[in-house]
Structure 1
Amino acid sequence: MLFSLVKKDLLLVKKYLLFMVVFSIIAPMFITVKISFPGGGLLGFFITVLFTEYILLNTLSSLEDKYKGAVLLSATPYTRKTLIHARYLFSLIIFVGVYAIYTVTSFVSPVPLEQLNLFTAGLSFLFITAYFGVLLPVQYKYGYEKTKFISSLFVILTPFVGPFVIKWLQTNSVNLDVLPALPQPAGHALPVLMAILLGLISMTTSVKIYSQKNL
């Protein structure tokens, strides 16, 4: 039942999928060329995932808002909890898909792309989860129309602000591996574990909000 809803979401955005695949290949190379300092690979991957997730999730929210999809789905056997779980699973699948595309591209790209290890990929996963972990509950509470401008502004500003943040971290010698006392495998897995915990909290919050909402 859960995967049927994810399949439904993929079908709704299928006309954008090819474009997003091409974007996921080209964007990291373009960003790497434009940003000539260490950390460009992490930033390029993060921006690529952020834009891909935003466009696809925004498209789904827009279609559901336009055609009253939430109202129609509430008349089906699917529970609201299942609908929420499917949306979060869809977001996770998109992240994994972009990561797979980036990894394959890094081996064949004419532009040297930074290989992402568990820690750097986990950082991107954590940042993405933090953003959508806040956006989705707020969107479920206040609706797509009331939240789309704020979320759009954040996504638009990220490519401009991101390089300055990376440079500031490097200039001030800030070590991203903030818990060197941990064993290396545990330290590298920490961002992923934090992202999973944050995602579960966000999903639980969304379920609570959506279950009480009058459609």
Structure 2
Amino acid sequence: MLLHLVKKDLILVKKYLLFMLVFAVVGPIFINSRLEFDNGSFIGFFITVLFVEYILFNMISMQEDKYRGSALLCTTPHTRNGVIKAKYLFILVVFIACFLLYNLATAIGVSTGLTRLSIMNVGISLLIISAFFGILIPVQTKFGYEKTRYIFFIVIFLTPFLLPIIIEWYQSNNFNINLNLPIPQAAKDWIPFVIAILIGFISMVVSIQIFSKKNL
């Protein structure tokens, strides 16, 4: 049932899907070529994923708000829980698709210095994405698309300008955040994934509770 809802979301954004797929390949190459410090590949991947995720999710939210899609879905065999769960599954599916397309971008953008990401970098990207949408989805579920769209749009708009500055400042000051946990490094690399899943789960539970009480 959840896969049918994800498929429904993909159909809603089919006009923009091809452009977003191309952007998922070209975006990291372009961003990395404009950065003049280490870890540009990570920044290129993260910003690209954030833009693709937000634009597609925003388009779906706009369509559902315009045509009262959530209310109509709840008149079908789909449950309210399922409607919310599908939103989080959609975010995960798009993230995985962007990661696969990034690997294609690394093959194309070798001359720009684009490199494959470490497990830690992929995990950190997923963690930040989970935190962002972990806030966005419950807030949007509570207050609606129209009341919240400008707040999150401003955050997305500022990210490409502020994030490289923050990373450059961090590197120039030689900060080193090192978690001295008594576990192998291979296990440490997966910690961001675990935290991301935990954030997503908590956010999903909150969103379900809000949506279950909402008068559609």
TM range (shorter): over 0.9
Q: Shift in Å at residue 176 of structure 1?
A: 4.9
Are the structure 2 counterparts of residues 54 and 127 from structure 1 closer, same or farther at C-alpha, using a change threshold of 3 Å?
same
- Does the Cα contact within 8 Å between 2:53 and 2:95 map onto a contact in 1? yes
What is the CA-CA distance between 1:45 and the residue it aligns to? 0.6
Does 2:157 align with 1:156? Answer: yes
Shift of residue 177 of structure 1?
A: 4.7
Matched, 1:85 2:115: no
Q: How does 1:179-190 map to 2 (within 5 A)?
A: 179=180, 181-190=182-191
Judging changes above 3 Å, is the alpha-carbon distance between structure 1 residues 181 and 161 closer, same or farther for their aligned structure 2 residues?
Answer: farther
Aligned pairs for 1:13-162 within 5 A: 13-109=13-109, 110-162=111-163
Shift of 1:178: 3.4
Give the superposition deviation at 1:179.
4.2
Shift of 1:174: 2.2
d(CA) in 2 for partners of 1:179, 1:168: 24
Residues in 2 aligned to 1:82 and 1:167: alpha-carbon distance in whole angstroms:
42
Q: Distance in 2 between matches of 1:103 and 1:83?
A: 31
Contact 2:25–2:104 (CA<8 Å) still a contact in 1? no
Moved over 4 A (4+): none
Question: Percent same amino acid at aligned positions?
Answer: 48
Measure the CA separation in 2 of the matches of 1:177 and 1:188: 12
For each residue in 1:176-209, what CA deviation from the matched residue of structure 2 results, as whole angstroms up to 9, or x when unmatched?
Answer: 5534653111110011111011110111111011
* TM superposition shift of 1:74: 1.2
Say if 2:120 and 2:189, in contact at 8 Å, map to a contact too.
yes
Q: 1:65·1:144 contact (CA, 8 Å) conserved in 2?
A: yes
Tell me the distance in 2 between the aligned counterparts of 1:188 and 1:77: 41
Q: How far off its partner does 1:84 sit?
A: 0.6
Letter in 1 for 2:136: L
CA RMSD of aligned residues (A): 1.2
Residues 166-175 or 23-32, more deviating: 166-175
Change beyond 3 A, Cα 1:95–1:176: farther
Counterpart residue number, 2:12? 12
Partner Cα distance (2:156, 2:58) in 1: 12
How many correspondences in the alignment?
A: 215
CA contact (8 A) 1:88 1:203 kept: yes
Question: Does the 8 A contact of 2:28 with 2:105 survive in 1?
Answer: no
Deviations 1:19-70 (A, max 9, x none): 0011111111111111111011111111000000000000000000001111
In 1, Cα distance between equivalents of 2:181 and 2:169: 21
- Given the superposition, is the C-alpha separation of residues 182 and 167 from structure 1 closer, same or farther in structure 2, using an over 3 Å criterion? farther
In the alignment, what sits opposite 1:198?
199
